[in-house]
Every structure is written in structure tokens, then in C-alpha cells.
Amino acid sequence: MDNLSAVLLLLTILALIFGLWTTLIVATRMRKLAQFNAQHESTTTDEKQRLAISAYGFDRPLMIAIVCWIFIAVRCVQWFMS
């Protein structure tokens, strides 16, 4: 196994770990956001959105998860094609 293959294997394992971790974070925050929306039905939409984003913002973990899963998918395609 040459150095490039070892580095790509390490990156794939790290992407899998971070992908799973951030996916769990996003799923947990989305569940909490749904509970928050159910509890605060009487607030205005703008106020609810501001509170929800400040409390349960999941945009950054979602972006990390997407990048990790795309990297894993590309590596799987490369592995099957070789």
C-alpha cells in the first residue's frame, strides 16, 4: 500500500466518523426543534424562527455531514471501479 492509498483510507475513516457524528447531531437538533415548535405555537413566526435558530442551529453540522457523505460516496465509487 503506497502513501497515497494510506492517506485516502485514513481520510475515508475520518469522514465516516465525522459523518456519523454530525448526522446524529443534526438529527437530535431537528427533533429538539420540532419539540420547540410544538411548545411555542403561540409565538409569531419571526420570533419563533429567531429563537429556534439561536437555540437549535444545525446548519454547520449539516454542511459537515453532507461533505463527509459525498467524500465517502466518491471513495466507494472509486473503490468499486478499480
Residue 44 pLDDT exceeds 70: no
Q: Does residue 10 carry a pLDDT above 70?
A: yes
Give the C-alpha separation, 18 to 33, whole Å.
22
Is the Cα torsion angle 41, 44, 46, 50 positive or negative in sign? negative
More confident residue, 17 or 59: 17
Mean pLDDT of 29-52: 76
What pLDDT digit, counting tens, does each position of 63-76 carry? 899 999 999 999 99
- In a 13 Å sphere around the CA of 14, the CA atoms on its Cβ side amount to 8
Nearest residue to 18 via CA among 55, 62, 78: 62
What's this model's pTM, rounded to 2 decimal places? 0.74
For the chain, which residues make up each domain, given as ranges? 3-81
